Structure 1
Amino acid sequence: MDLSNRTVLIVGGTSGIGRELARRFAAAGSTVAVGGRSPKALTELADEGFGKITIDVTDSASVASARDAVLARYPELDTVVTMSGVMLLEDLRDPAHFEAAATTIDTNLLGTIRVVDAFTPHLIRRGGGTLITVTSGIAFLPFPPMPSYAASKAAVHAYSEALRAQLDGTGVGVVELVPPAVATAGQEKVNPHALPLDDFATEVMHLLSQDPTPHEILVKGVLMHRWAERDGTYDALVAQRSQALAMLPGRQG
């Protein structure tokens, strides 16, 4: 993928990985707009020179309105990154977890589908472009305290595979970005093994720039997760990660 002279929309790019990728695409020579819900963050990004788009991926009307605004301002849009997501703890012994599960699925999975549905017709009409979905290493190696997060990201992986197959021949590519734990918003304090954001973004942009672009963008730090079943390490790693269940409020003390 030629990273220069593209027109990119990053939905969910007001912080963390998305914000850094917006800066990297812009530095490579692309025009970048960022979508999100935070007025403060969007204003900050506008001050950096990015287009700002207000969008709530859990609201179909908001997504449709954002699509119309984006295409009116950026008719040459050729790249859509959909990465809005939430990570919530859930204790499956307590039925009250269902609200967190519903929020997670609505944002991470249905939000992705809403955004993809909104822009796919445009990309098909123009005869080419790229949809970039964002999953997680947790899609392939669950983190037990966040079951619905893992399920939602595994679902986005499967959806991305099916979407790629259905769009074959249209000129529209589907690329899945699979981050490991990345040190954003204090994550380095929660997980000392989290990959520094700068290192992660550098590796991602290098992989995206390859020709052909890989179907899955797998930085070295996520290979352990992605190939755990193949490598025979899955059961031991899930057991190890299950020790984190002690962090759930109902399991403490």
Structure 2
Amino acid sequence: MNSTGNTILVTGGTSGIGLGLALKFHEAGNNVIIAGRRKALLDKIVAEHPGIDSVLLDVRDPQSILGASEALAISHPNLNVLINSAGIMHWEDLTDPDDLITAENIVTTNLLGTIRLAYTFIPQLTKQPSATIVNVSSALAFVPLPSTPTYSATKAAVHSFTQSLRVQLEASSVEVIELAPPGVRTTLLGQENDENAMPLDEFLEEIFELLEINPTPKELVVERAKPLRFAEANGSHDEILKMLAGYKPPQE
């Protein structure tokens, strides 16, 4: 993937890793469109960062995805990069029936959203001479955090889906990349002040160093994420799972 000269759509581009990637790619000389479902927030970010565009898009709504793709095909016909960054993460108690709604919302956003966006935008991306899909999974795709079971499961599914997507698009102009972050200091799950999470600036810096590698790695995995990513291969999976099982949601 070229680090500059692209037209990039970033879902979940109003906060956290999505916004961080959007700003970093914008600074690198790309035309960036941030997508989100809160117009006031989109307008605020666009006003604060001249040159960035925005589009209303709710990844939970198939019609919203279709409408955004049709609008962008007209306004940004050279769109050649899709970054699927939108996602939610919540604590769950699997013994509490009320948490089923939470689990279903996570699946709709994290997994169905990613799948629907891929299906919807692939026709436009394959028309470009060079294009990229970046699916954001998580280090928890490889060893789950038991207190966030559905989040971890959706990210494992995103990993699997991304592998299949890469194979199916192998003969096309579209490369497929997976970005698997560790815990990063963002508002996702209230980690912005978590000393155990990786500072966002450090994470972005390491990701962009990986993007400079030619050819671009199929998986963008920073050093902090590697213990989980390779846990199964090096035999440490059960040990890490036991450690993560001891991590409990904060008491309210």
TM value normalised by structure 1: 0.94
Distance in 1 separating the partners of 2:59 and 2:184 = 23
The Cα offsets for residues 203-248 of structure 1, whole Å up to 9 and x where unpaired, read as 1111122210000000111001101111221111111111124x37
Question: What secondary structure, in the 3-state scheme, does the structure 2 residue paired with 1:198 have?
Answer: helix
- Write the distance in 2 (CA, Å) between the matches of 1:158 and 1:89: 23
**SS at 1:33's partner residue?**
strand
Identity of aligned residues (%): 38
> For residues 44-83 of structure 1, what are the structure 2 equivalents within 5 Å?
44-47=44-47, 48-49=49-50, 50-83=52-85
Matched, 1:202 2:205: yes
Q: Which secondary structure does the structure 1 equivalent of 2:155 belong to?
A: helix
Structure 2, unaligned stretches of length 5 or more? Answer: none
* Aligned AA (1:65): G
- Quote how far apart the aligned CAs of 1:188 are: 4.0
How many residue pairs end up in the alignment? 248
The residue aligned with 1:227 is 230
The answer for the alignment partner of 1:22 in structure 2 is 22
Pairwise CA RMSD: 1.4
CA contact (8 A) 1:145 1:248 kept: no
Match of 2:135 in 1: 133
- Offset of 1:41 from its aligned partner? 1.9
Name the amino acid aligned to 2:131.
G
DSSP 3-state at the match of 1:168:
coil
Give the gaps of 5 or more residues in structure 1: none
**Separation of aligned partners in 2, 1:112 and 1:58:** 10
Match of 1:146 in 2: 148
Distance 2:214 2:245 in 1: 39
Deviation of 1:37 after TM superposition, in Å, equals: 1.0
Match of 1:166 in 2: 168
Structure with greater helix percent: 1
1:195 alignment partner, SS class: coil
Correspondences of 1:110-121 after superposition (within 5 Å): 110-121=112-123
Tell me if 1:216 matches 2:219: yes
Indicate how the Cα distance of structure 1 residues 105 and 138 shifts in structure 2: closer, same or farther if over 3 A, else same.
Answer: same
Note if 1:12 corresponds to 2:12: yes
Distance in 1, matches of 2:172 and 2:247, equals 44
1: CA distance, partners of 2:113 / 2:172: 23
Q: Are 1:89 and 1:248, in contact at CA under 8 Å, matched by a contact in 2?
A: no
Deviation at 1:79, TM superposition (A): 0.5
Are positions 1:42 and 2:45 aligned together?
A: no
Further displaced range: 69-78 or 157-166: 69-78
The runs of at least 4 aligned residues of structure 1 exceeding 6 Å deviation read none
Higher mean C-alpha deviation, range 155-164 or range 223-232: 223-232
Instruction: Tell me the distance in 1 between the aligned counterparts of 2:8 and 2:246.
Output: 40
Q: In 2, distance between residues paired with 1:169 and 1:195?
A: 36
